[in-house]
Amino acid sequence: MRKTIFKKLEAQGLITNYNRLRKNRPPKLPKRVFIWDETLREGMQIPSVYLTYVERVKLAKMMDEMGIPIITVGYPALSEEERNAVKRIANENFKQASLAASASINKNEIDACLSCGIREIPIFTPFNELNLKYRLKKTKEEVLEQTVESIQYAKKHDVTVDFVLEDASRTPISDILQIFEAAVKAGADRLVIADTVGFLRPLSMRYLISHVRDGLQDLNVEVPLSVHCHNDFGLATANTLAAVEEGVTYVHTCVAGFGERAGIAPLEEVVTALELLYNIDTGVNVKKLYRLSQLAEKSFASPIQFHKPIVGENAFSYESDEHIHGMIAHPLIYQPFPPKMIGRETTFYMGRQPGRHLIENRLALAGIKATPLQVNEIARRLRVNQRSVDKGEVQMTFYQIKKLLRELRKGLTEEDFWRIVEQVTRQKPKSPLTS
């Protein structure tokens, strides 16, 4: 259906679709892209978010039904509770998806995944000087050795292993190639380039991916590439698509862009862009994207902004008389695609000053005949109805809701932390610790 609608408009000369020009089609663009969803791991790193087991299973099951091929369901080494949840999910019946669980380059963490019955393990580590010096406190040689040992250990248990290079977007290409080559020789099935702090521009992403791809080819390394793009500068979707333009076939997403800090590439944006702007098959049932986002919003107790692309409440809503008039003439005048494609509907709002022409048009479409006096009365009542909303009351309610949400998501201060430490240990911390 998506192809027919736009092809008809193009064939009739009604629109020009620059996305379809051969000059604009990247030569490395793949025919198929696989969605790798991280909502149940990355998404749960949002401060104060907690999902019950039932909520996690419902989200995972809906993704499976939609045709999402890889679902990361957690990080078993995080806690005993997390391990039990991942194990229970792994024992559920999934029809299509491969369930994955993450581990660092640590055999104990890999064992935690294996004990859950997980058959795919993304093993992660950073490899740039910043992380080596301040986080890992190890040499490159030590990290390389640990990476190889971890991957080989996991492969001995006959599981799919994905190697995730954290902060790859700030790591020299020579170092990326060095650890990627070692990871593949150890048995890694896929390589993931992570833009961990969302620091790249789309052109920079294309540069990085192309050089890594070409460098791996020179090393005779042939495995699929994947990207994990954070949204700190609002570029996660753009960077994900830029990576696809350079041949990446596996892309990480989260429903509604949930995730740590500003989140990662939103599932619904990436899927609809690939399907409609690139004409690339993702295998995902797009009609369920909106339902999935609603389920995630409820489970996360984290509101999706009204102006959020694709799944926000305003994405297919119109109030301007001029826009509504255009929509009545032809829906695609002010819509990039029919909302029914993703299980949504168009919503019209009557503005504060509804135009007479618009009212007459809408009545005519509904088969209602009205006199000029009746049209005027309808317009008058609409204006009265708009004025009946007390803006001050709306604002007060909004701030009360926002305050309540802040209270529900309140974190611990440094002072809270050290007070609890003192209560438990009966020792006061030295001043440098609390400064």
What residues contact 327, with CB distance under 8 A and at least 6 apart?
A: 318, 333, 334, 335, 346, 348
Give the number of domains in the chain: 1
Whether pLDDT at 295 is above 70 = yes
Taking all residues of the chain, what is their mean pLDDT, rounded to a whole number? 93
Its domain, for residue 278, covers 18-300
pLDDT value at 348 more than 90: no
In a domain, 130, yes or no: yes
Q: Give the pair of three-digit tokens for residue 374.
A: 């009746």
Tens of pLDDT, residues 387-411 = 556 778 888 888 888 888 888 777 7
The answer to whether residue 432 scores a pLDDT higher than 90 is no
Let me know if residue 402 belongs to a domain: no
Q: Is pLDDT at 386 greater than 70 in this prediction?
A: no
Percent of the chain clearing pLDDT 90 (strictly above): 77
- pLDDT confidence bin for 269, thresholds 50/70/90: very high
Q: Which two tokens stand for residue 404?
A: 């309540």
Q: Do the domain assignments include residue 212?
A: yes
- Enter the tokens of residue 372: 């000029």
The answer to the question of residue 193 being in a domain is yes
Query: So what's the pLDDT on residue 307?
Result: 96
Quote the pLDDT of residue 125. Answer: 98
- The answer as to whether 307 is a domain residue is no
User: Residue 101 maps to which CATH number?
Assistant: 3.20.20.70
29 inside domain: yes
Confidence of residue 383 (pLDDT cuts 50, 70, 90): confident
| Residues present in the chain in total | 435
Least confident of 184-198, 280-294, 352-366: 352-366
Find the mean pLDDT for residues 277-298: 97
Distance CA 393, CA 395 (A): 5
**Structure tokens belonging to residue 274:** 């690939």
Neighbouring residues of 367: CB distance < 8 A, sequence distance ≥ 6:
none
Does a structural domain hold residue 357? no
pLDDT reported for residue 352:
61
- d(CA 215, CA 246) in angstroms, rounded, equals 13
Q: Residue 385: its pLDDT value, please? A: 67
Does residue 387 belong to any structural domain of this protein? Answer: no
For 211-236, the pLDDT digits (tens) are: 999 999 999 999 999 999 999 999 99
Query: Can you give the three-state secondary structure of the chain, one letter per residue?
Result: CHHHHHHHHHHCCCCCCHHHCHHHCCCCCCCECEEEECCCCCHHHCCCCCCCHHHHHHHHHHHHHHCCCEEECCCHHHCHHHHHHHHHHHCCCCCCCEEECCEECCHHHHHHHHCCCCCEEEEEEECCHHHHHHHHCCCHHHHHHHHHHHHHHHHCCCCEEEEEEECHHHCCHHHHHHHHHHHHHHCCCEEEEEECCCCCCHHHHHHHHHHHHHHHHHCCCCCCEEEEEECCCCCHHHHHHHHHHCCCCEEEEEHHHCCCCCCECEHHHHHHHHHHHCCCECCCCHHHHHHHHHHHHHHHCCCCCCCCCCCCCCCCEECCHHHHHHHHHCHHHCCCCCHHHHCCCCEECCCCCCCHHHHHHHHHHCCCCCCHHHHHHHHHHHHHHHHCCCHHHHHHHHHHHHHHHHHHCCCCCHHHHHHHHHHHHCCCCCHHHHC
